[in-house]
């Protein structure tokens, strides 16, 4: 892959929320979300010696659930103490089968699982910071202790948890790439036109995040 060195001492694959709750049949299904699993397994079997994963891990009655706000519906937005928050169907409830990492993922190279969104009053998209933008997950410190400086991200959903993770990683000084065919997005329409997928891609490109596909890696 021209210009990208996959030094296992400094490079890691990040799997963002690869959980059944975000796949067909799940509570917050992303269209085609299950298609990321075989792509990720090929990456884990090939170019990446090390990986981490994030896991959405909400308590029942989480503040980001539409069911916690009488009169509100899923995908409405409400003002939280930390800013505007999209409301979601109940999903990734702690201890449920839907909240587990997808059982078909080869976990042998996953060295850390970061659970996020477990604080009842704060949602969490990014692998690095919760939605109040001050509460950390601890991932940055762990990666720095490991000497990691380059991240490749895969998972669900492209325009939410993957994008927020990539943007924060770039801001923190990592060289960051999104593996596009190892992700799937939601694509909610925006009031100003376009959708969340286009907006996320533009935001990430402006932050210096690169975009690759699994075909860019050597077999």
Tell me whether strands 11-16 and 51-56 are parallel, antiparallel or unpaired.
Answer: parallel
Catalytic pick among 56, 90, 116, 159: 116
Q: What is d(CA 130, CA 146) in angstroms, rounded to the nearest whole number? A: 22
Smallest CA-to-CA distance from 150 within 28, 217, 50 is with: 50
- Which residues 6+ apart lie within 8 Å of 70 measured at CB? none
183 is catalytic: no
Active site residue 17: yes
How many Cα atoms are found within 13 Å in the side-chain-facing hemisphere of 74?
Answer: 8
**In terms of DSSP bridges, do strands 77-80 and 83-86 run parallel, antiparallel, or are they unpaired?**
antiparallel
90 is catalytic: no
Three-state DSSP class for 83?
strand
**Distance between CA atoms of 83 and 93, rounded to whole angstroms?**
23
Running DSSP on this structure, what letter comes out for residue 102? Answer: P
How far is Cα 55 from Cα 100, in angstroms, rounded to an integer?
7
Annotated catalytic residue within 56, 90, 123, 161: 161
CA distance 91 to 74: 11
Catalytic residues: 17, 116, 161
């Amino acid at each position: 892959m021209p210009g990208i060195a996959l030094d296992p001492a400094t490079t890691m694959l990040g799997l963002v929320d690869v959980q059944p709750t975000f796949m067909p049949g799940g509570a917050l299904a992303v269209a085609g979300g299950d298609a990321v699993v075989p792509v990720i397994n090929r990456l884990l079997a090939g170019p990446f010696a090390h990986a981490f994963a994030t896991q959405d891990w909400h308590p029942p009655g989480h503040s980001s659930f539409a069911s916690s706000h009488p009169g509100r519906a899923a995908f409405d937005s409400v003002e939280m103490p930390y800013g505007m928050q999209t409301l979601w169907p109940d999903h990734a409830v702690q201890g449920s089968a839907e909240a587990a990492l997808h059982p078909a993922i080869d976990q042998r190279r996953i060295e850390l699982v970061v659970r996020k969104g477990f604080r009842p009053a704060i949602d969490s998209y990014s692998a690095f910071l919760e939605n109040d933008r001050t509460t950390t997950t601890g991932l940055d410190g762990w990666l720095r202790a490991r000497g990691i400086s380059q991240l490749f991200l895969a998972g669900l959903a492209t325009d939410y948890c993957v994008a927020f993770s990539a943007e924060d990683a770039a801001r923190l000084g990592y060289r960051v790439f999104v593996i596009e065919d190892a992700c799937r997005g939601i694509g909610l329409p925006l009031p100003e036109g376009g959708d969340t997928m286009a907006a996320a891609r533009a935001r990430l490109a402006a932050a210096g995040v690169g975009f690759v596909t699994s075909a860019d890696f050597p077999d």
